[in-house]
């Protein structure tokens, strides 16, 4: 080879290494969320992970998950989650995860946004699920995508009624939720025959493929930011949609995915709070002070990105430690996330002392 000739093999290797040029079309889909989380962890200066406490937490988490027989079936056991394994449940889950963001409130438990449904008062994430169930009971087709683009039938007043509160506080980011419904309805209409089922089928039973499809076609699922000069992906709601399908359908039908373990933890508020309580994650004094003073952190601020990225990586480390303890454990990041979220809510109800969750107002989580 002369000095003037191009070494195409070397060029292809460099392109692969630095992510340049077209990728291998035959390669399995990758979300890059875990890869980006490791990058954030490797470059984080305000959030740290503790491996000693991670190893101790892995022992306790494995023990408790086994004692509780924690599995995908746990998801459907909650009284508010749909039970049927059909298209109505598919549409319910898509609507739920389309709007699954920003439920924290500055008000007291008695004054915050709440939904009363069948004699029970629900707050937080469960207030959304209760509101959707209540709307369906009242004959409002809130989980039908074609309804979202009908600005007369699905008017702002109708949506205010759907998300009406038992208190004076309305659901946070109400306009943001309207925008998500409208956009999703339009995209589904134009590209997927107004069918969530067609969308899922286009994912070709790949969890990563469906997550990427959501992020590519719907801006309201494109949960990305710039950290240390690099684009990083979190894709919380896109990933939790796939995870909820997997759990609700017990890995079959709409919930069948060949690569479900590519889904990471869902970077939000409660799991970072739980990781801090377990000693797995710690914050620099200025950041911890801001969180304890209940001061907001702007979306895409370095602190927020470090909390989210390090949380994803912490759950991955916990998963690896659990598998070291029991190589055949039926465990993945989804189940660890679900378990820690439930545990955080249990501790909250029991008034166990913990650092407050960080406060960022965003449609991403």
Rounded distance, CA 164 to CA 160, Å? Answer: 6
Confidence tier at 235 by pLDDT (50, 70, 90): very high
Q: Give the per-residue pLDDT at 20.
A: 54
The total number of residues written for the chain in this structure = 365
Provide the percentage of residues in the chain whose pLDDT is more than 70: 93
Distance from first CA to last CA of the chain, Å, rounded?
Answer: 54
User: Rounded to 5 degrees, what are φ and ψ at 233?
Assistant: -115, 140
Rg (C-alpha) for the chain, rounded Å, is: 21
pTM of this structure: 0.90
The 10 Å Cβ neighbour count of residue 310 is 26
Tell me the per-residue pLDDT of 17-65, one tens digit each, with 9 for 90 and over: 555 555 566 789 999 999 999 999 999 999 999 999 999 999 999 999 9
| Of 176, 164, 158, the residue nearest 131 (C-alpha) | 164
pLDDT at 232 over 90: yes
Q: Give the per-residue pLDDT at 73.
A: 87
Tell me the per-residue pLDDT of 274-313, one tens digit each, with 9 for 90 and over: 999 999 999 999 999 999 999 999 999 999 999 999 999 9
Is residue 82 within 8 A of residue 346, CB to CB? The reply is no
Please identify every residue annotated as catalytic. 268
Average pLDDT over residues 306-330: 97
Rounded distance, CA 358 to CA 290, Å? Answer: 8
Q: Give the per-residue pLDDT at 327.
A: 95
Q: Give the per-residue pLDDT at 15.
A: 55
Is residue 337 within 8 A of residue 242, CB to CB? The reply is no
Confidence tier at 209 by pLDDT (50, 70, 90): very high
The per-residue DSSP string of 256-285 comes to: --TTGGG-----SSHHHHHHHHTTSEEE-H
Confidence tier at 236 by pLDDT (50, 70, 90): very high
Q: Give the per-residue pLDDT at 9.
A: 58
| Of 287, 311, 273, 318, the residue nearest 53 (C-alpha) | 318
For CA atoms 41, 63, 251, 97, the dihedral sign is negative
pLDDT at 155 over 80: yes
Confidence tier at 71 by pLDDT (50, 70, 90): confident
Measured N-to-C along each axis, helices 87-98 and 236-248 cross at an angle, to the nearest 10 degrees, of 150
Q: Give the per-residue pLDDT at 3.
A: 54
Tell me the per-residue pLDDT of 170-200, one tens digit each, with 9 for 90 and over: 999 999 999 999 999 999 999 999 999 999 9
| Alpha helix (H) residue ranges in 116-220 | 125-137, 145-148, 156-162, 174-191, 196-202, 207-217
Confidence tier at 317 by pLDDT (50, 70, 90): very high
pLDDT at 110 over 60: yes
Cα separations in angstroms, 260 against 48, 186, 206: 28, 28, 7
Secondary structure element (H or E) that encloses residue 29, with its range: none
Q: Give the per-residue pLDDT at 74.
A: 87
Q: Give the per-residue pLDDT at 21.
A: 54
What is the residue whose two structure tokens read 């995870």? Answer: 243
In the structure encoding, which two tokens stand for residue 350, read together? 């029991």
Tell me the per-residue pLDDT of 252-268, one tens digit each, with 9 for 90 and over: 999 999 999 999 999 99
Average pLDDT over residues 191-212: 98
- Mean of the per-residue pLDDT values of the chain: 94
């Amino acid at each position: 080879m002369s000095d003037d000739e191009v070494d195409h093999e070397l060029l292809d290797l460099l392109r692969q290494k630095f992510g340049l040029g077209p990728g291998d079309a035959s390669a399995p889909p990758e979300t890059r969320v875990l890869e980006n989380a490791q990058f954030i962890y490797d470059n984080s200066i305000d959030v740290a992970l503790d491996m000693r406490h991670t190893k101790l937490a892995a022992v306790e988490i494995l023990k408790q998950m086994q004692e509780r027989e924690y599995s995908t079936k746990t998801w459907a056991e909650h009284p508010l989650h749909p039970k049927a394994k059909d298209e109505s449940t598919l549409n319910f889950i898509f609507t739920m995860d389309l709007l699954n963001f920003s439920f924290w409130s500055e008000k007291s438990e008695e004054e915050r946004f709440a939904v009363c449904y069948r004699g029970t008062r629900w707050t937080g994430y469960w207030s959304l699920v209760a509101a959707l169930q209540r709307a369906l009971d009242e004959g409002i087709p809130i989980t039908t995508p074609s309804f979202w683009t009908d600005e007369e039938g699905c008017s702002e007043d109708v949506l205010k009624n759907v998300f009406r509160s038992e208190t004076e506080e309305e659901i946070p980011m109400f306009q943001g939720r309207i925008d998500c419904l409208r956009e999703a309805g339009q995209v589904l209409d134009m590209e997927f025959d107004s069918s969530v089922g067609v969308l899922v089928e286009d994912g070709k039973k790949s969890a990563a493929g469906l997550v990427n499809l959501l992020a590519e076609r719907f801006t309201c699922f494109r949960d990305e930011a710039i950290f240390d000069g690099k684009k990083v992906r979190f894709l919380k709601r896109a990933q939790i949609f796939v995870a909820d399908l997997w759990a609700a359908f017990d890995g079959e039908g709409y919930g069948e995915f060949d690569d479900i373990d590519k889904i990471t933890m869902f970077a939000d508020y409660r799991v970072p709070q739980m990781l801090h309580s377990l000693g797995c994650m710690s914050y620099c004094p200025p950041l911890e002070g801001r969180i304890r003073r209940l001061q907001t952190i702007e979306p895409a601020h370095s602190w927020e990105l470090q909390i989210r990225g390090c949380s994803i990586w912490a759950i991955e480390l916990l998963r690896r430690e659990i598998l070291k303890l029991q190589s055949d454990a039926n465990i993945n990041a989804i189940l660890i996330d679900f378990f820690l979220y439930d545990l955080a809510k249990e501790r909250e109800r029991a008034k166990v002392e913990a650092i407050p969750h960080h406060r960022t107002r965003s449609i991403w989580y």
